Structure 1
Amino acid sequence: MVSGQSRSVTPWLSKPTSSLEMHLLVGGVPFSLDRELLAARSAKISALLEANSQEDLSHSLRDIPPEPETFELVLRFCHGFEVHMSSENVVPLTCFACYLRMTENHSRNNLLTKALTFFEQRIFPSWNETIKALCTVEKIFQESVNFGLVDACSESLIKKALVDPSLLGEPIKNSTCVDDSEDDDNVYRPNARRRLFDSERQPEDLTILPLRLYEPIIQAMNKSGVPSKYVAASLCTYAKKWVFPISTGSEKMSINKRNSPGEIIEALERLLSHERGLLPCTLLFDMLQSAIILEANSHCRNGFEVRIGKQLEEATAKDLLVPSQYDTECVRRILKIFYGNYTSSDVSGLITVAELLEDFLVMGASDKDLKPEAFISLGDISAAASVGTQRSSDGIYRAIDIYLAQHRYLTESEREEVCRVLDCQKMSPEACEHAAKNERLPLRVVVQVLFVGKLQLHDAITKETKDSDDRLRKEEEAGKDVAKLDCGGQQARGEMKNMCSKVMGLERECHMMRKEIESGFSRSTVKKRNVSMWRDMKRKFGCINNMYDYNCRPKKKNM
């Protein structure tokens, strides 16, 4: 190799074989070479010289592949030197051989035949060597595409992935498609005849390819039937390599210099199947967050939301924070997708999502910076998620209690608005007792809780009376002693009358309490009356004497 402004072939020979020199610029590097020697191997150069031997060929060869190091190897071959081929130089060598038409028709044992033979014998049989060869096409991408080298390498990789999809990577754990408790017989293992590539114990990572090579290969694998879970594993690795953490550092730009992280995350979304459970919900949330931060298009963001919605029951409350802290609209959309795709008759998934939304609401309640409007919106979502699950409102009440404790500066009207999301009729007796003594609650809510307590007792009395009536009816139908029945019936009716009079008394007390509140009694006075009334109701009807301390989740009584 010669330093200076031009490269010459003379260092390789004792003397030039021709006095006719031509000057050529390849990839910005000038070369001086013997054109007749080159024409002996190149049909293209030979044709140009025959057309006009005196013409400067530089203009006609201006679209020559811009690889000066490889062109120097071509010149060595023209001068009779042996060219050592490898996965790092066979692609550009083949491109030069195709461009210069160095075929067998023009000259025996020509460069193109040698290069294609090397491909067939050394590159295509090996997954690793094929990927290494593809990594060299960046500078001569269009030439590699035009000469069919990219397609040939891609087809080779696809065939290998169909035989052994684990070359793409192992499926991601903790997703529904790969259960840790799955029987070993269901795990993919190529049989003896198909273990063609077991010698490659550490297969080259397909994700080292730039996006414009990686994307069409994965698209072709999807169409060819490579299992989706293995493709998803490769996409996950690609995201971790080029998107997570979001960066524009030199390492990430060195390969994917033509694509921003935003373009990459959009491509990954397009390539990822909509099959449920291919990736863990947490990873899908990470991808959604990246799409939002990188300002990916709406189709990309919506695609990740749809995939999350299909498996929302696998998410955690922290996952819901990932897209954008307390993004209620995003949560609403995901929840809507979940209900739209939920087809199981088993309500366990619905209950799991309802609990998830309650945990998310409690998490938000602890945030001192969360505005009342946002909390109310989250409360509405949590309440809606509990519809049809027969769940109590205790979780929502717990969140409200935490939020009021963290935001003591709220006015009475603001506290009433926060409590709007609470359905007092769905509160357990333990929660009602706690709420009746909760000084953080607005007065109106305390009154509502007391009325709910009254109704719960009324329902309990009515049920007990009905049960007693049913027993009497069954005894009458069985033909028992009439006198005994009359005595029992009169006693039951007397108890029922007594209970009804007590209920009426309770109603009068509640009515008087309400009038006192409207007349302007102080909160402390009303509070004492509320609590005493609650205890009095319990005492009058012989209910539980000692109430368990309320911890926002009903406790089981000791048997």
Structure 2
Amino acid sequence: MLRNSLKHYLGTYDKYVSEPTFLALIFKPNKYEGNTYQTPFGDLSPCGEQQVTRPGPLLPFNSLSLLGFNFTNTLCQFDHYHFHISLSSPSSSSSSSSLISTFEHTSFHEKSRMKFMKIGTKPDTFYTQEASRILITDTPNDLVIRINNTTYHLHRSCLVPKCGLLRRLCTDSEESDTVTIELNDIPGGADAFELCAKFCYDITINLSAHNLVNALCASKFLRMSDSVDKGNLLPKLEAFFHSCILHGWKDSIVTLQSTTKLPEWCENLGIVRKCIDSIVEKILTPTSEVSWSHTYTRPGYAKRQHHSVPRDWWTEDISDLDLDLFRCVITAARSTFTLPPQLIGEALHVYTCRWLPYFKSNSHSGFSVKENEAALERHRRLVNTVVNMIPADKGSVSEGFLLRLVSIASYVRASLTTKTELIRKSSLQLEEATLEDLLLPSHSSSHLHRYDTDLVATVLESFLMLWRRQSSAHLSSNNTQLLHSIRKVAKLIDSYLQAVAKDVHMPVSKFVSLSEAVPDIARQSHDRLYKAINIFLKVHPEISKEEKKRLCRSLDCQKLSAQVRAHAVKNERMPLRTVVQALFFDQESSSKGASSRSESQELFTRGKETPTDEHSMMHKLHLGPASTGKAKNVLEEGCKRGEEKTRSSTDPKKIVWKGTGSEHKHHISRDR
């Protein structure tokens, strides 16, 4: 590619120089072997020089981007080599500026370097005196440029020939007069102007993706084009932007991010659109062809060997972008209909983790009121934007991500539309959630309880509405899948109840409301629910008898396993009604009589009236009329029977409780 670059370079240069032109390459490499240096042009002796007369033979090596025209003493860097490129005319000496250019490297390591350009050969002689920037020179200053609070004392002879704007403003002034010009509205401010001024003095300036945008806009403002002066700054910057910046991954991202300071200028100059197109093009590149440096910090990834980059290699780098720019990149990538929804969802996940400091943790503490007020609006806008960008495809983002977004949306007071949409999306995937996903912090300052049970209840209610609607629409088909779905959610909710029951500040009403929200058909076994209630009673020993009854109202002792019923019979924390019910079904399960079994089915099947007091329960147990005192005696007798029965089949010190559908055995110590 160097052959073509030099041909183009010399062909363009020929428009300005009529004399024969020589290209001298003077190598100063770092690699040394014996008496020769290893260079892309072969072995050269120290300080070797090779001259190529236009259009003489050009020895090919990796492509070099030669930027701009009419250069002399151009110092370049390639790999480990440093060499000089000088353009000269045999009949005259040129006095134009110098340039350090960058290369398109072939190896992955070389491509990881960000591009840079250095223009000029003279040292920086600007110094600051109070609020003024002055150039050390013997020539008196005759041009004063004021930019806000900074004043530059310069020379018309250097700036006017290259700056079309200054040339127009200085037209009517006498050569002996000192001209004062105010440029308060120059894009990039004083720093950008100083870069342009140093170029006019041939002072060395360093340009990269970090400051290119400011320099481009300022040179455009000052009209430093080729039509004003050959080899001017603006065409050099444009060539550097198109030839190097847009070819680099991180260069394009850094440049795009820097456009936020000058949005209108960058939009009008097409910088934003070109950077976005460059980024999207690289995102869509097959992973086998990705060779540029990128950031990827997933846990454990660096320790493993990989034959190609991961599909989401680009997500962390674009998360550095401003929200509006990030949205533009994602929108442009989605418009190609090439990226799968899961990759879009992963990018949204990474971006949210990057900019919401409390997203990964289950706590929103650590922020003062003032800090929260300053950040809430920004975070609210981020949540609203991210939710609008989530693909409609189910599974494009995880349920854990959605639930955490719901929690944060509540915390930052996002719009009602945003919260409603998040709850709807969360309910569609609730069966995929884990217990950890549901353990979201409470945001209410008036409540002391730790977990946001209201949020879980809202999502559960939305899920049940959808489930009932689907059940009605699929009376004969898909019932198995729907039943599996709701039973999976029921197990999840019961596990959640066990977790929140350990919160000493958890109100009985919230626990009961959530436990009763699960339909009867969803729970094949009530073992998990019993465990949750038992934990709650143990952590909250101060609750009243009425609250205990409310707590156990949703518990169906008929759906308890034999081991759990045996535990319930001896559980002193349980209300008397529940203990008697457990005893009844414990005896009923061991009964062989068909008539007795039929009667119990009639009495205690869901949807029919179940005895709710000790008197009727005692009567059904054929123990005769029971007063309150007798009920206690019967209970004690039943406990003894249950204990003897349990001891005959279990360890005398502990009862093994096997929860339905669980892979683990929970050992519950006898509560006596």
* TM-score when normalising by structure 2: 0.60
| Partner Cα distance (1:213, 1:552) in 2 | 54
Q: In the alignment, which residue of structure 2 is the partner of 1:368?
A: 504
Query: Are 1:393 and 2:526 counterparts?
Result: yes
Answer yes or no: is the 8 Å Cα contact 1:397–1:552 preserved in 2.
no
Q: Secondary structure at the match of 2:151?
A: strand
Structure number with greater CO (CA < 8 Å, separation at least 6) is: 1
| 334-343 vs 400-409, which moves further | 334-343
1:413 CA drift (Å): 2.2
1:521 paired to 2:654: no
Find the aligned partners of 1:52 and 1:319 in 2 and give their Cα distance.
Answer: 73
Counterpart of 2:460 in structure 1 is 335
Show CA shifts across 1:79-109 (max 9, x none).
4556553223321111012212222333333
Q: CA deviation at 1:547?
A: 5.2
Assess if the C-alpha contact under 8 Å between 1:211 and 1:264 holds in 2: yes
Change (3 A) 1:189 1:396: closer
Task: Tell whether 2:350 aligns with 1:218.
Answer: no
Query: Structure 1 pair 259/74, CA: closer, same or farther in 2 (3 Å)?
Result: farther
Residue type at the aligned position of 2:432: E
**Cα 1:408–1:47 shift into 2, 3 Å:** same
Any residues of structure 2 matched to 1:63-142 within 5 Å, and which?
A: 63-79=185-201, 84-142=206-264
**Match runs of 1:359-508 below 5 Å:** 359-381=495-517, 383-384=518-519, 387-389=520-522, 391-452=524-585, 461=594
Code of the aligned partner of 1:330: L
Task: Give the AA of the match of 1:392.
Answer: S
Aligned pairs (5 A) from 1:26-41? 26-35=147-156, 37-41=158-162
Q: Residues 309 and 258 (structure 1 numbering): CA distance in 2 closer, same or farther, change over 3 Å?
A: closer
Give deviations 1:475-503, integer Å, cap 9, x for gaps. Answer: xxxxxxxxxxxxxxxxxxxxxxxxxxxxx
Report the CA distance between 1:507 and its aligned residue.
9.9
Question: 1:480 maps to what in 2?
Answer: none
User: 2:400 aligned with 1:275, yes or no?
Assistant: no
Which SS does the other structure have where 2:144 is aligned? strand
State the match for 2:63 in structure 1. none
Residue 663 of structure 2 is aligned to residue 551 of structure 1? no
Which region of structure 1 is more displaced relative to structure 2, 314-323 or 303-312?
303-312
Aligned partners of 1:154, 1:303: CA distance in 2, in Å?
29
For residue 351 of structure 1, what is the aligned residue in structure 2? Answer: 487
Picking from 205, 225, 249, the partner of 2:317 is 205
Aligned positions of 1:1-80 closer than 5 A? 1-5=126-130, 7=132, 10-11=135-136, 15=139, 21-35=142-156, 37-49=158-170, 58=181, 61-79=183-201
* Secondary structure, counterpart of 2:657 in structure 1: coil
**Structure 2 SS opposite 1:23:** strand
- In the alignment, the residues of structure 2 paired with residue 509 and residue 205 of structure 1 have an alpha-carbon distance, to the nearest angstrom, of 73
Q: Are the aligned partners of 2:501 and 2:532 in contact in 1 as well (CA < 8 Å)? A: yes
Report what 1:495 is aligned to: none
CA deviation digits over 1:322-352, x for unaligned, max 9? 2434433211222244456667642443332
Q: 2:277 is aligned with what amino acid?
A: E
| Change in 2 beyond 3 A, CA 1:221/1:14 | farther
Per mean C-alpha deviation after superposition, the further-off stretch among 423-432 and 353-362 is: 423-432
Question: Higher strand fraction: Structure 1 or Structure 2?
Answer: 2
Which string of whole-angstrom CA distances, capped at 9 and with x for unpartnered residues, describes residues 227-281 of structure 1?
43333333333333332346999xxx9xx99974444344333333343334444
**C-alpha distance in 1 between matches for 2:248 and 2:383:** 29
Partner in structure 2 of residue 230 of structure 1: 343
Distance across 1 between alignment mates of 2:133 and 2:413 = 51
Q: Hey, what does 2:66 align to over in structure 1? A: none
Task: Answer whether contact 2:144 2:178 (CA < 8 A) is retained.
Answer: no
Q: Please, what is the CA RMSD of the aligned residues?
A: 4.5
Q: Answer whether contact 1:161 1:168 (CA < 8 A) is retained.
A: no
- 8 Å Cα contact 1:281-1:314 kept in structure 2: yes
State the SS of the aligned residue for 1:109. coil
**Unaligned regions of 5+ residues in structure 1, if any?**
174-183, 191-200, 466-505, 539-543
Instruction: Tell me the distance in 2 between the aligned counterparts of 1:34 and 1:118.
Output: 28
1:136-285 residue pairs with structure 2 within 5 A? 136-164=258-286, 205-225=317-337, 226-245=339-358, 260-285=378-403
Q: Which has the higher helix share?
A: 1
Letter in 1 for 2:544: T
Q: Is 213-222 or 354-363 further displaced after alignment?
A: 213-222
2 CA distance for matches of 1:243 and 1:43? 47
| Shift, 1:50, TM fit | 5.2
Instruction: Report how far residue 357 of structure 1 moved.
Output: 1.0
Task: Tell me the SS of whatever aligns to 2:146.
Answer: strand
Distance in 2 separating the partners of 1:204 and 1:50:
52
Secondary structure, aligned partner of 2:635: helix
CA deviation vs aligned residue, 1:121-162 (integer Å, no higher than 9, x gap): 110011121123234345434433343222221221111112
Check the 8 A contact 1:437/1:527 in 2, yes or no: no
Query: After the TM superposition, which of the residue ranges 201-210 and 110-119 deviates more from structure 2?
Result: 201-210
Give, in angstroms, the shift of residue 527 of structure 1: 0.7
